[in-house]
Amino acid sequence: MPDKQPLKGVSEKEERQYEHIKEEAEKSGRYGKRAKEVAARTVMKQHREKGHKKGE
């Protein structure tokens, strides 16, 4: 993983999910230039649904 963390306050598992979603979106070309944004929003939505607060 790179030193720069794209999502703050999420677990390593959620970081891996972000990378996977981003790579698949870029590979398929589904979201165009918005692949990173879509991946981040997806992971953060799941993070909140689990009851985690910011920074947990």
What is the token pair recorded at 15?
Answer: 């970081």
Instruction: Name which of 3, 10, 37, 33 is nearest 21 in CA terms.
Output: 37
Amino acid, res. 21: I
List pLDDT tens digits, range 27-46: 999 888 999 999 999 998 98
**pLDDT for 51 beyond 90:** no
What is the token pair recorded at 4?
Answer: 């720069």
Residue 55 φ then ψ, to 5°? 90, 5
Residue ranges per structural domain of the chain: 12-49
Instruction: Name which of 50, 36, 31, 46 is nearest 4 in CA terms.
Output: 36
List pLDDT tens digits, range 9-22: 788 899 999 999 99
By CB atoms closer than 10 A (0-12, 13-18, 19+), residue 18 is buried
